Structure 1
Amino acid sequence: KWLNQLMIGQFNKSFKPLRTQSDWISSVEEQVDAYVNDPYSGFLVSNQLIYTVTQSMIQTARIPNIKSIHPSVPILLVAGKEDAFGHNGKGVRQLGQKFKQGGIHHITVQLYAYKRHEILFEKDYEYVWKHMLDWISRQIITKNKSE
């Protein structure tokens, strides 16, 4: 419980007043309530899960691992600017820079204003879905033109 509070409990610091311990998830109260009431989410995570997620994030950002990705593969990184898990966009921007350092030619970092962790379940979520679909469509069109 202590490790959960240390890791996840910090995510709510920016949000006042707090309704739940999961307000960092979304600005949409119904989405937060659904998360809190879902028996498969909103639970205390194990030390092993915290370790695994942390190690996965470290491995994702390691240059040798990034270099194993074909440099022409387009990559889209998306996050909410108010996502405490991603340090309000800072972590995603840093990861984008790491991908560039690792030789990825086409990296797009898109941060969404006024969005928290669950960007696909926030207000105006249709915009996020449309942006991702448009990005994917542009990648397909670009690839087809180059063949």
Structure 2
Amino acid sequence: MFTFTGEDGLTVHVHGWVPDGPPRAVVQIAHGMGEHALRYAPLARELNAAGYAVYANDHRGHGATMRPGRPGALDDDGWDLLVDDMAALTRILHERHPGLPVVLLGHSLGSFAAQQYILDRSGLVNAVALSGTTAVDGLFAFLAEAGGDVMGAFNAAFQPARTEADWLSRDEAQVDLYIADPLCGFTLDEPSMNGLAAAAVDRLAEPAGIPADLPMYVLVGEHDPLNRGLELSDLAVERYRRAGLTDITYRTYPDARHELFNETNRAEVVTDLIAWLDRVTG
């Protein structure tokens, strides 16, 4: 682990995993809401075995970066600062691994941040992967219909549910690990959620200014409740196509839920990810 200082003085904590030999490229992971970077250690080790160095910061309001007793609190202008933190880490990775391609892999909330990141910082990365992603403005419309109960809305499709987090994965052991983790299971606080919602409408709904040749990989589970079937992920991909992106890989996994890297078919998901990484960094 190492740290760097965010634009507002916050200490941001970063976890790193490196392969035994010289890496072929770098993967920067941006984790989801109500979780933390160490949950991606198994994925990082598999990427290490394929020759990739992997780094992931704990977002502000999460993990080791969280201010004590304030889960989900991003602070003033916190959403934009969270994206700034990701860009600051990318610059550090270029310094640590000069000349190597850097791929940004965002999951869920991290994918929403990655969507904003590439609007004006795409020159920092060679490709972007969006896991468990969606059209964020459509997601907020769905949550408004559900009365704002985020977790309840996500779990509603899996009733009668074994737990309140069945929407994450078909793998019960992974769901139980999430529930037992004291650093998991919360949402952003209201001001932070409002900041994300504003960005969803003002900036993410119609992406523009992204280089046409930036490779993008979108991977979602067909039973991910963030997408209302595949309606919202289809919409997100269509928006990027309208924006002019010419290298979009869109992969959907039947029966899979939200956390593809913790799903029962995770081996398939990782194999597909590595094949795409090998292509875009080769």
TM norm structure 1:
0.81
Deviation at residue 5 of structure 1 after TM alignment: 5.8
Letter in 1 for 2:219: V
CA distance in 1, matches of 2:212, 2:226: 27
Q: Is the alpha carbon distance of 1:44 and 1:93 closer, same or farther for their aligned partners in structure 2, counting shifts above 3 Å? A: closer
Structure 1: gaps of 5 or more residues: 142-147
Contact 1:80/1:88 (<8 A) preserved: no
Of the three residues 239, 242, 257, the one matched with 1:101 is 242
Q: How far off its partner does 1:44 sit?
A: 4.9
Give the 3 Å change call, closer, same or farther, for CA 34–60 of structure 1 in structure 2: same
Q: One-letter code of the match for 2:180?
A: N
Q: Distance in 2 between matches of 1:24 and 1:18?
A: 9
* Structure 2 runs not aligned, ≥5 long: 1-143
Map 1:1-147 onto structure 2 (within 5 A): 6-58=149-201, 59-62=203-206, 66-141=207-282
Q: Compare the two structures and name the one with the higher helix fraction.
A: 1
Moved over 4 A (4+): none
Shift of the alpha carbon at 1:8? 2.4
How far 1:56 sits from its partner (Å)?
4.4
- 1:139 CA drift (Å): 2.8
Percent of paired sites with the same residue: 26
Counterpart AA for 2:256 = K
Q: Aligned partners of 2:178 and 2:199: how far apart in 1? A: 23
RMSD of aligned C-alpha atoms? 2.0
Provide TM-score, normalisation by structure 2: 0.44
